[in-house]
Amino acid sequence: MGRRLVLASGGVRAEERRAVYTQAIRDAIGDAGRVLFVPHALADHDGTVAKFAEKGLDAGYALDGIHRHDDPVRAVEEAEAIYVGGGNTFRLVAALHRMGVLDAIRRRVRDGMPYVGVSAGSNVACPKLSTTNDMPIVEPPSFETLGLVPFQINPHYFSGSTWRRDADGSYHEHFGETRDDRLREFHEENTTPVLGLYEGAVLVVEENDAGTTMTLLGGPARWLRPGEEPIDFAAGDRLESVIGALE
Amino acid sequence: MGRRLVLASGGVRAEERRAVYTQAIRDAIGDAGRVLFVPHALADHDGTVAKFAEKGLDAGYALDGIHRHDDPVRAVEEAEAIYVGGGNTFRLVAALHRMGVLDAIRRRVRDGMPYVGVSAGSNVACPKLSTTNDMPIVEPPSFETLGLVPFQINPHYFSGSTWRRDADGSYHEHFGETRDDRLREFHEENTTPVLGLYEGAVLVVEENDAGTTMTLLGGPARWLRPGEEPIDFAAGDRLESVIGALE
């Protein structure tokens, strides 16, 4: 049995999107009783665990906060599934390094333990944190992340220009870099492909003896590579023939 | 003679904003013949130097690209003024460390060499890169930056919600963190105050025997500290009585 990953963009407040997301979690995790939850992308760990349950993002599972364990590596070794929540990716990466759990998570996920990530939790499933949208509020010891998939994910992806809305309801274009500018700059410095996951989109990866399937649910996505035309995917599409095998 | 800094947010495409910015540069630099320019926040160094001149952002000075110098530390030692352009802050910080010029810039600026920064160039004038809006496309050896001022700057600052505009002209709220969310998260992890510079805003710092003046030009700014109410400034305001002395 190989990797079973649910990698979500976030933006799942709407009932319809949340239903797609939580069904994907249930399909991946099955009848596990307890799910080890990593709340470290946010500052308030107990509050984050409570909020995920309150908003129905627990998909009906009891979330067992890893911050409550004296030995986080052992908690990973004994987990039936792992779920990494959103917030600030730099803070999350610093915590994963501090707890020393990267290798244990990698090993368990390759051996079949289901992994669910949303937003920052999807960022850290990639080789490096480099396609996060977050502010570098803490300095992690390195940008190295879990590398559960061989490509980068950009959560909350969108194309086009950015505007702000003022209190009077008027819109004003914001002249900072657009998301596409930022990802093009990533590809000036890196060759790793990027999957831009629009809000509400969920990538489900299932690896077994017959091969690997990658299914997009809940929203669209865009596949970006340096110097090549982007490829657009719609909810329901299978992506493995474009993305290729897991390494 | 002490520090003479021009720290701009960016967003100076409009003629009126550009005039304020370039006048501030001329007031700081005076009659220096050559200005050492650091284009490393962008990938194309010669192209960036040319673009700054073409757009009138050179303020009438000949910009001498530091990438053209075999010995960048010596170029800093011999410069009459230094000007650091915008782009990606992570790429810029990696280049400053690679060229080994941080100490030389700090020393020269403390001794009175004028420093002009825009966007990423303002970010690196602060103690750490941590309040950049940029994507971490490259991993610098550390988040340490020049520390020419004892507070952080957030360029392209705005308050309120973020929207995207689709090709059909419709607006859709973007559910990623707002700028204020991001800076509040910075203050969950750090105590350093942050000056949010709205687009078009320029902070001019002048240090001399009589003390230090900090003058805001071109646009508004907001002073953010953990757990305290923000303080708003307007163009023309003097900020030193709020911000306090340079260390």
Q: Chain B contact for A129, CB < 8 A?
A: yes
Task: Compute the distance between CA of residue A205 and CA of residue A85 in angstroms, rounded to an integer.
Answer: 18
Active site (annotated) includes residue B156: yes
Please answer whether residues B154 and B133 qualify as being in contact, where contact means their C-beta atoms are separated by less than 8 angstroms: yes
Q: Chain B contact for A162, CB < 8 A?
A: yes
CB contact under 8 A, B158 and A175: no
| B120: nearest Cα among B153, B168, B164 | B153
- Candidates B55, B185, B186, B197: best to mutate against A (most CBs of A within 10 A) is B185
Taking 80 as the threshold, does the pLDDT of residue A176 lie above it? no
State the smallest CA–CA distance between residue B76 and chain A in angstroms: 26
Mean pLDDT computed over every residue of chain B: 94
Taking 80 as the threshold, does the pLDDT of residue A162 lie above it? no
Helix (H, G, I), strand (E, B) or coil at A81: coil
pLDDT digits (tens, 9 = 90+) for B198-244: 999 999 999 988 889 999 999 999 999 999 999 999 999 999 999 98
Residue A184, φ and ψ in degrees, nearest 5 = -65, -40
Q: What pLDDT, on a 0 to 100 scale, did the predictor assign at position B225?
A: 96
pLDDT digits (tens, 9 = 90+) for A220-229: 999 999 999 9
Helix (H, G, I), strand (E, B) or coil at B214: strand
Q: One-letter amino acid identity for B76?
A: V
DSSP B136-161: --S--S-SB---SSSSEEEEEE--SE
Starting at the earlier edge strand, list the strands of the sheet with B82-84: B62-65, B34-38, B82-84, B115-118, B4-8, B202-208, B211-217
Using N-to-C axis directions, what is the helix angle for B102-110 and B89-99, rounded to 10°? 90
State the smallest CA–CA distance between residue B151 and chain A in angstroms: 14
pLDDT digits (tens, 9 = 90+) for A97-138: 999 999 999 999 999 999 999 999 999 999 999 999 999 999
Taking 70 as the threshold, does the pLDDT of residue A247 lie above it? no
Active-site position among A134, A180, A209, A232:
A134
Using a CB-CB cut-off of 8 Å, the residues of chain A touching B186 are 135, 137
Using a CB-CB cut-off of 8 Å, the residues of chain A touching B43 are 185, 188-189
CB contact under 8 A, A163 and B158: no
Q: Which of residues 45-84 of A touch B (CB under 8 A)?
A: none
Q: Chain A contact for B98, CB < 8 A?
A: no
Q: What pLDDT, on a 0 to 100 scale, did the predictor assign at position B170?
A: 80
Task: Compute the distance between CA of residue A154 and CA of residue A179 in angstroms, rounded to an integer.
Answer: 9
CATH number of the structural domain spanning residue A152:
3.40.50.880
Residue B156, φ and ψ in degrees, nearest 5 = 55, 35
Q: What pLDDT, on a 0 to 100 scale, did the predictor assign at position B175?
A: 64
ipTM: 0.92
State the smallest CA–CA distance between residue B199 and chain A in angstroms: 8
CA quadruple B161, B163, B169, B170: dihedral sign: negative
Cβ-based neighbour number of residue A150 at 10 Å: 14
Active site (annotated) includes residue A122: no
Please answer whether residues B4 and B50 qualify as being in contact, where contact means their C-beta atoms are separated by less than 8 angstroms: no
Please answer whether residues A117 and A70 qualify as being in contact, where contact means their C-beta atoms are separated by less than 8 angstroms: no
Q: One-letter amino acid identity for B95?
A: A
Number of compact structural domains in chain B: 1
Cβ-based neighbour number of residue A20 at 10 Å: 19
Range of the domain at B86: 4-243
Q: A–B: how many Cβ contacts below 8 A?
A: 128
Taking 80 as the threshold, does the pLDDT of residue B1 lie above it? no
* Alpha helices for chain B (secondary structure H): 15-29, 45-54, 72-78, 89-99, 102-110, 120-123, 179-189, 240-243
**Residue B70 DSSP symbol:** S
Active site (annotated) includes residue A119: yes
**Which of A135, A165, A174 lies at the smallest CB-CB distance from B185?**
A135
Q: Chain A contact for B166, CB < 8 A?
A: yes
| A161: nearest Cα among B42, B180, B163, B168 | B163
Task: Compute the distance between CA of residue A218 and CA of residue A199 in angstroms, rounded to an integer.
Answer: 9
Radius of gyration of chain A (CA): 17
**Helix (H) or strand (E) run with residue A53 in it:** helix A45-54
Task: Compute the distance between CA of residue A194 and CA of residue A226 in angstroms, rounded to an integer.
Answer: 9
